[in-house]
A and B are shown apart, each in its own frame.
Chain A
Amino acid sequence: MDKNQKNKVVVLACSGIGKTYGALARDTAQELAECVRPGTVILTCLARLVMDDPEARLILSGNPVITIDGCPRDCAKRTVESTGKKVAEACQVVRFYAAHKDLKPEGLAQLNEAGRKLARIAAEELAATVDKLAAESDR
């Protein structure tokens, strides 16, 4: 594993293409990696794990993992667990909408403005977990 990929927190989103909450899960993960905790959060594609991509497996094995799912089928969480890796934190994005009913996410390919705001809020809320996990893996 590249030394730059140590002591990171891996975030895996479901990215379900048929549901708005899949888009919200994806946007939340990207918001974390690009804006809220850049340099700490790394993304990897869910499909790479299933395809036994060695680099993706290595990144996963050496760092704590947060999964973000768009529906109760928990595909991201289940995919990670199928590799034998324990998920440090598993969340479903609907919980963020339940707490912020004024921000109704819409859109399948891309989120509407309210959805993007909700993704930002979700990423900021998850940042505390990221920080905690990053601190633990530093020890």
Chain B
Amino acid sequence: MKIEFKKVGLISCSGEELPGGTLSRIACRRVLDEYKPSETVTICLPLFIAGGEEERTFAANHPTVTIDGCEKLCAAKATEKLSAKPRKALLVPEILKKRRASPPKKLRCFGPDEEDAVRAVALEIAEAVEEVLKEEKDR
């Protein structure tokens, strides 16, 4: 029997104009690089929406978790529009409220003041990845 191990695609909003976008991006990278390096892969949202076939095929064939910095939910909507509905659609303000972390005020150069928020969002993403992989295993 062939056992296929699926990776979860993380799609972060680009959010250049708001701190929530930067937070989404940094937390996403932490999951990719530290928390779940062998279970996750990222998909570049700009390339995805600009027509990268490889990215769109991946998102159509693999479970995805989107992480958005604001209520416009661009990453979640773009993923659904261009590929397939994300398995989990996370929203940074909701995560911060749930985990009682202060929202960042800066657009960039995050440091110790933003660490609680980064960790909160990264942990939420990691949990979402575990849930998706469990669902895949139980199928």
Contacts and interface: CB of A to CB of B under 8 A. Distances in A.
Task: Give the bracket for the number of chain A residues in contact with chain B.
Answer: 35 or more
Task: Give the bracket for the number of chain B residues in contact with chain A.
Answer: 20 to 34
Contacts, number: 103
Interface string B1-32: 00000000000111111100100011011100
A22 interface: yes
A75 B46 contact: yes
B15 A109 contact: no
A19 B25 CA distance: 12
Given A47-B78, A51-B78, A18 B42 contact: yes
B100 interface: no
B107 to A, nearest CB: 5
15 contacts: A15-B16, A16-B47, A18-B44, A19-B44, A26-B16, A43-B17, A44-B17, A45-B18, A47-B14, A50-B81, A51-B72, A75-B46, A76-B46, A110-B108, A110-B109
